[in-house]
Structure 1
C-alpha cells in the first residue's frame, strides 16, 4: 500500500484485488532500510525483520519492542493531568480514616481496574468496597441514584474506574450531596470535565501524557505508582512494606487485552510483562476461572485473556450479577474464587445461547433489507427484547461479517427505550459520531471511543439515529474501505507452516490493535476433507501443489462465499490467515486459522 498525498493505493498481493469476502490483499508496507537494520542489529531473518518494521518499530526501537521493560517505558505519573491531585486526595482520605468506595464498570476492564485498587488498599490494611451498577436496571456508568446509594451507605470518597469521565450530570449531583469523587477513566469525554476532586484520563483534552491507548486498568496501574510515590513522600512506609505493584501486572494486562487497546509503547510493556505474571496463575480468581473453563496452567497468552477468561468475566455483567467479575479478581479466598468461577462459567454458557439467538435474528433483519451490502456507512438494527448484555458482542460479530460499523439495539417494548452497542471499522470513529448524536439530542445517552460505543435511544427515533450516523460517518467510509485491505506479512507454502515459524513470530507478541497478529498467505491450495462444524465453522486440510499440507479452520463462515469455496473442496485457492499453536495431546504443532479466501479465477 503506497501513500500518495494522503490517499492510499493498493498493490494487490497475489493479484487479489477482491477476495471472496470483498477485500483486497496487500503486503504490509515496511521501510527497506529499517528491515536491514533489524536484521543486522537484532539478528533476525528477513520475514521477521520485515514484520517488525511494518509495525512502525524504528531501527533504534527493536530491542525495546521485543524485550520491553517498565524501567524504559513507564511514564511519569505527573504527566497525566490531575494524577498528582488524585493521589493526594486518595491518601488524604486514607489517612483521615474516611470511607472510600470504588465504583466500577461491569466489563473486564472495569473489574480489573477495581481489583487493582482493592489489592493496593488491602496491602495498606484497608478493605475497599466495590459498587458495580446493574446493566439492566441502572445502565452504564455513574448516576444520581447510585451516588445517593453510596452516600447513604456512608461513603465519603468514591473512585470511579473505567467510567465517569463523561458523567457530568451525575457527578454534579454527587457534589451537591457532598460526596467526593475521583474519576479514573480512558473514554472520550466532553471538553468540560465533570465536577470532581480529580479527573485522570489520558484522553482528556489537555492531557499531555501521550498514553491515550491505555485501558482504564493501565491508568489505574499508573495511579498505584503515583500512590506509592506520594506515600513515600508522606513516610507511610516507615512501618509497613510498600505495596509491590508488579505482582498485579496480570490485572493490567487483562484489562488492556480485553478492552482491545493499542499494544504499543508502555501499554505493550504493561501487557507483555503482565502476561508473564499471569503465567504463574497466582491470582486465585484467574486460576479458578481457567480451571472452570477446562484450561491448564502454563504460559499465558493473549488468547487466554481475550477468549477464555475475558468472556467469562464479562458474562456476569452481561446476563448475571454485575459485580461477579470484580469480586473474582479481588478475592484471596480459593473457595470463594472457585464458587464465583463456576457461576461465571455457567453464565457464559447461557450468554452464548442468548447471543446466538440475537445474532440470527439481526442477520435476518438486515440481510432482508440489503443494508449490509449497500453504500451506507453504518448498519443499525433493532429488535424487541434483545438482551442489552449481548448486543455489543453481536455488533462485533456482524461487523466482522459485513466489514462496516454495526450498531445493535435491544428495545424494551414496555418503556419504548432502546439500549444499544456498536462496533466500528478502522478509520471510522464511531464513539465520536455517537457523542455527536447525543449532543444533537437524538440520543438520551451515548458515548464511547473510536472502535466501540454505547447508547440509549427512544425506539421511535431509531430511524433518525440511523440517518444521523450514516451522514456523520459518510466521509470516513472511503478511508475505512481502503484500510480494510487485508495486509499480509509473508507468503509461505504449507510445508513452511511449522511450529518453528510460529515460535519465531511469537517474539512480536502480545498482539492487538497497532500490533496486529502476523498474517500469512498460501497460494494455489486445495481444501481437502472439509467438514462443517457446529456454529458454522469449517475445518479442513490445506494442501499445496507439492502435496504438503497444514490443518486449518475458518470460523463462522459456512454460509459465506469463502466457507462455501472451502466446503466444495475447490483447488487453486489463495488463502490468508494466522498460525496458531496446536498443543493437543502434546503434539506441539500448528493450525492455520483462515481469515480470508480468494479464487484467482474470479479476480
Structure 2
C-alpha cells in the first residue's frame, strides 16, 4: 500500500528567477523556488533566523509561574503524550527545567488503554501524596477540561503547553501557551508540542537572565535541539521556515555527535549513520521506534531512553524500543491485510464513497492510526479506523483514529458531526489531517453515515484523485552525484516542504525481485539515453514491469560497496 490506486501527475510551475550564486545548481534553484524560497538568503537556516518567543499568547503568566516554581522549590510533574512528539517534549521539559534550576522535576505519561489521551481525571486520580505543586502538560491539555479541573480540585497548579486546535471551551488552567489559541500573535502556527515547550524554556531563560540568575554563564538550551528536531519531524507538522531552522540545527548537532545517548542508541539500532542522518531518518527510523512504546506498551520506556545520560542504559532501552516496534509492524501488517478490512473498504471506495470507516474487534487501539494512514494512502479518502478501547470484551467504548487528504479538515468535520448529532461522539480533537475520537460501539453505524455525508458535501470528484507532484524532468547532465549531494544539503525536507521528485519516461532494461517485495531495475532514460540503477520498494505484484514506463522518482546516493554512484528511488509508476 505504498501508492494510491488512482493518481494523476502534476508538475510544479516554474518560478521567476531569484538572486542565486552560480554555485547553486539550476535544478536546486528550481526546486527551492517552487517551495517558496525565492532567494539564496531565504534558504539560510541558522539559529539567527529563529523566531523569538514574543507573540506567544499566555507566555507572561506561564513564565511567572515557572519562575515562582524555581524560586520556591516547587515539585513539578510533566505530563506528556504517548507519541514521539509527547515523548520528546516531555524529555525537553524535564531536561530544560533542571538546567534552569528546578530541583524537583518528574514526569508521568498516560497509558493509552487505562487513561486515554492527555491529562485525564483518571491520571490525576492516580497521583499519590505528596502531590506535585505544579503540573505541566506537554503536547496535550488544550482539550483536557475535566483533567485540569480534577488537578485544580486537588490543589495542583496547572500550566498547559500544547499545539492542538482548541475547542469552544478551554480548561481553567493557571496559564496556557498554545500558538493556535485565538488572539495568539506568534507567526508560526506549525510548532509541534516539543517546539512549544522549547520556546517556553527560551522565554524562561531570558527572564531568569534578566533577573541575574546566571552570574557564571547561562545554560545552553541548544543541547535540547536534537530532541526538538526528532519530535517536530515525527509529528508531521508543517516544516515552515521556523521549524526547518529547528530541525536543521538539531540534525547538525546530531551529525557532530552532540546528542543525547538515547538518540545515539536509536540511530545505531536502526542501522543509520550518524554523520549522514536526515529528517527522513527521523520520520521512518527513529520516530516509529519511540512511537511504538506508546502504541503497544508504556511510553515511559521511550521517555526514559531520551532522558538517560547513561550510554549503557540508553542502549538497553533502545533495544527494548526496537523489539516493541517489530511487534508493532507485525500487528499492523496483520490488521491491514485482514480480510475484514478489505471487505469493509472495497464496497465503500469502489462504489463512489467519499469517506471510509473501518472497525474490527481484533484491532489494537495503539495501531489504528497507522491503519488509517495506510488505507488513506491506498484509497485517497479520509479514513477513520476504530478499535476496542480496552481488552474487556464487555466494554462498549471504541477509540478511533482518523487521517485525511487535502481539502478535508478532519477536526472541522468532527465538530460539524458533533453539532448535527449531539451525543454521537463522546470526545474528539486533533488537526486538519489527523484526529482522534471516542464513542460507544452501538453508535458506529450512525457515525459512519454522518461521516460519509460530510465527506460527500465537502470533497469534489477531482479531490478524490491523488495528485503526485513532480519538479519536472531532468537533463542528461543532471543525473550526477553533485546534484544529489546539493539537494540533500538543502534540507531538511518533510511535511509541507516535500523532498524533490522528478518524472520521466524510461525503458526497463533489466529487473529482478529483491527482498520478496521490491523491484531492482536497470533503466534507460528515453529522452537522454542515460542508464541508471533503480529501486522500487513494495512494487512486486507477481507481474513483470512493462518494457517502458513513466516513473516518478527521487535521486539518491548509492554508496553500496563505496561505489559513490547515484540511483533512482521510484515513488510511482504511471
TM-score range, shorter chain: over 0.9
Match of 2:323 among 346, 358, 362: 346
Write the distance in 1 (CA, Å) between the matches of 2:399 and 2:476: 46
Give runs of aligned pairs for residues 382-531 of structure 1, distance below 5 A.
382-411=359-388, 413-438=393-418, 440-478=422-460, 481=463, 484-492=466-474, 496-526=478-508, 528-531=510-513
Alignment match, 1:52: 32
Match of 1:63 among 38, 41, 53: 41
Write the distance in 2 (CA, Å) between the matches of 1:83 and 1:168: 20
Q: Report the alpha carbon displacement of residue 206 of structure 1 after superposing the two structures with TM.
A: 1.7
Partners of 1:104 and 1:113 within 8 A in 2? yes
Partners of 2:345 and 2:358 within 8 A in 1? no
Write the distance in 2 (CA, Å) between the matches of 1:524 and 1:146: 57
Alignment match, 2:93: 117
Alignment match, 1:589: 565
**Structure 2 residue 159 is matched with structure 1 residue 178:** no
Distance 1:558 1:460, change over 3 A: farther
Give runs of aligned pairs for residues 179-218 of structure 1, distance below 5 A.
179-218=156-195
Q: Secondary structure at the match of 1:171?
A: helix
Please, which moves more after superposition, 550-559 or 226-235? 550-559
Distance 1:144 1:569, change over 3 A: closer
Q: Report the alpha carbon displacement of residue 71 of structure 1 after superposing the two structures with TM.
A: 1.7
Q: Report the alpha carbon displacement of residue 49 of structure 1 after superposing the two structures with TM.
A: 1.8
**Structure 2 residue 137 is matched with structure 1 residue 160:** yes
Please, which moves more after superposition, 519-528 or 309-318? 519-528
**Structure 2 residue 118 is matched with structure 1 residue 141:** yes
Write the distance in 2 (CA, Å) between the matches of 1:48 and 1:364: 42
CA deviations 1:442-486 (Å, max 9, x no partner) are 212211111111111211211211122222233432287288321
Q: Report the alpha carbon displacement of residue 211 of structure 1 after superposing the two structures with TM.
A: 1.6
Alignment match, 1:279: 255
Partners of 2:341 and 2:358 within 8 A in 1? no
Write the distance in 1 (CA, Å) between the matches of 2:347 and 2:475: 38
Please, which moves more after superposition, 251-260 or 498-507? 498-507
Write the distance in 2 (CA, Å) between the matches of 1:373 and 1:206: 44
CA deviations 1:307-358 (Å, max 9, x no partner) are 1111111111111222111111111111221111111111111111111111
Distance 1:473 1:42, change over 3 A: farther
Write the distance in 1 (CA, Å) between the matches of 2:236 and 2:351: 28
Write the distance in 2 (CA, Å) between the matches of 1:20 and 1:209: 36
Q: Report the alpha carbon displacement of residue 42 of structure 1 after superposing the two structures with TM.
A: 6.5
Partners of 1:520 and 1:576 within 8 A in 2? yes
Alignment match, 1:92: 68
Partners of 2:4 and 2:377 within 8 A in 1? no
Q: Report the alpha carbon displacement of residue 231 of structure 1 after superposing the two structures with TM.
A: 0.8
Q: Report the alpha carbon displacement of residue 508 of structure 1 after superposing the two structures with TM.
A: 3.0
Write the distance in 2 (CA, Å) between the matches of 1:88 and 1:168: 22
Partners of 1:276 and 1:299 within 8 A in 2? no
Write the distance in 1 (CA, Å) between the matches of 2:344 and 2:439: 23
Alignment match, 2:231: 255
Give unpaired runs (5+ residues) of structure 2.
none
Q: Secondary structure at the match of 1:68?
A: coil
Write the distance in 2 (CA, Å) between the matches of 1:513 and 1:38: 26
Write the distance in 1 (CA, Å) between the matches of 2:37 and 2:538: 34
CA deviations 1:23-74 (Å, max 9, x no partner) are 221210233x3xx2244x5653432222111112234xx3132x21222332
Write the distance in 2 (CA, Å) between the matches of 1:577 and 1:594: 4
Partners of 1:114 and 1:130 within 8 A in 2? yes
**TM-score, normalised relative to structure 1:** 0.88
CA deviations 1:362-411 (Å, max 9, x no partner) are 67434664212333222111010311111111211121111122221113
Write the distance in 2 (CA, Å) between the matches of 1:205 and 1:20: 36
Write the distance in 2 (CA, Å) between the matches of 1:552 and 1:587: 15
Q: Matched residue pairs, number?
A: 564
Q: Secondary structure at the match of 1:596?
A: strand
Alignment match, 1:30: 14
Distance 1:389 1:131, change over 3 A: same
Aligned Cα RMSD in Å?
2.3
Partners of 1:385 and 1:410 within 8 A in 2? yes
Write the distance in 2 (CA, Å) between the matches of 1:495 and 1:473: 46
